[in-house]
Amino acid sequence: MDSEEEEEHEARLRSEQRAIGRTPAEHAALETALAQRRRRRQRDKQDSENEYYRVLLQRQRREQQQREQREQQEQQQQRLATYLQQQQQQQQQREQQMRMQAGWLTVRRQQSTTTTTTTGFERALQRMRDRVEAEAEVGIQGPSPPPPLPSRVNAPRRTGRVNYSSRKARGAGWHRRGYRDSGDLWINVREGSYGSVKGRDENENETLRAFVRHVFDSWNACHYPEDWYCDLFFRKRSLIRLLVDLENKGVEEHEVIVRDYFDGGETVYFKVFNAEGEQQSQSY
pLDDT in tens, 230-274: 889 998 889 999 999 888 888 888 888 888 888 888 889 998 888
pTM: 0.49
Query: φ and ψ at 164, to 5 degrees?
Result: -70, -45
Within-domain flag for 77:
yes
* Lowest-pLDDT choice from 50-64, 120-134, 177-191: 177-191
Distance from C-alpha of 194 to C-alpha of 235, rounded to nearest angstrom: 15
Characterize 44-77 residue by residue with b for buried, 16 or more Cβ atoms within 10 angstroms of its Cβ, and e for exposed: eeeeeeeeeeeeeeeeeeeeeeeeeeeeeeeeee
Query: Residues near 246 by Cβ (< 8 Å), separated by ≥ 6?
Result: 256
| Residues 146/237, Cβ–Cβ less than 8 Å | yes
pLDDT of amino acid 110:
60
pLDDT band at 196 (very low <50, low <70, confident <90, very high): confident
Number of C-beta neighbours around residue 246 at 10 A: 16
Within-domain flag for 147:
no
Within-domain flag for 267:
yes
Q: pLDDT per residue over 137-173, tens digit each?
A: 776 555 545 445 555 444 445 444 444 444 444 545 5
- Examine the fold and report which residue of 51, 78, 103 is the final residue of a domain before the chain moves on: 103
pLDDT of amino acid 239:
92
CA dihedral of residues 31, 33, 38, 41 (deg, nearest 10): -170
Q: Is 121 helix (H, G, I), strand (E, B) or coil?
A: helix
pLDDT of amino acid 36:
82
Q: Is 211 helix (H, G, I), strand (E, B) or coil?
A: helix
- Examine the fold and report which residue of 74, 103, 132 is the final residue of a domain before the chain moves on: 103
Say which CATH number the domain at 232 has: 3.10.20.90
| Residue 180 or 59, more confident | 59
Domain membership of residue 28 as a residue range: 10-103
Query: Residues near 266 by Cβ (< 8 Å), separated by ≥ 6?
Result: 187, 188, 234
- Number of folded domains that form the chain: 2
Amino acid letter at 10? E
Give percent above pLDDT 90 in the chain: 6
Measured distance between the N- and C-terminal CA atoms of the chain, rounded to whole angstroms: 126
Q: Which residues pair with 233 in a beta bridge?
A: 238, 269
Same domain, yes or no, for 269 and 182?
yes
DSSP secondary structure letter of residue 169: -
Q: Is 17 helix (H, G, I), strand (E, B) or coil?
A: helix
Same domain, yes or no, for 181 and 264?
yes
- Examine the fold and report which residue of 103, 125, 145 is the final residue of a domain before the chain moves on: 103
DSSP secondary structure letter of residue 230: E
Distance from C-alpha of 203 to C-alpha of 183, rounded to nearest angstrom: 6
- Any alpha helices (H) in 139-202, and if so which ranges? 174-177
| Residues 136/149, Cβ–Cβ less than 8 Å | no
Within-domain flag for 46:
yes
Query: φ and ψ at 142, to 5 degrees?
Result: 75, -175
| Residues 167/178, Cβ–Cβ less than 8 Å | no
| Residues 29/37, Cβ–Cβ less than 8 Å | no
Amino acid letter at 1? M
Within-domain flag for 152:
no
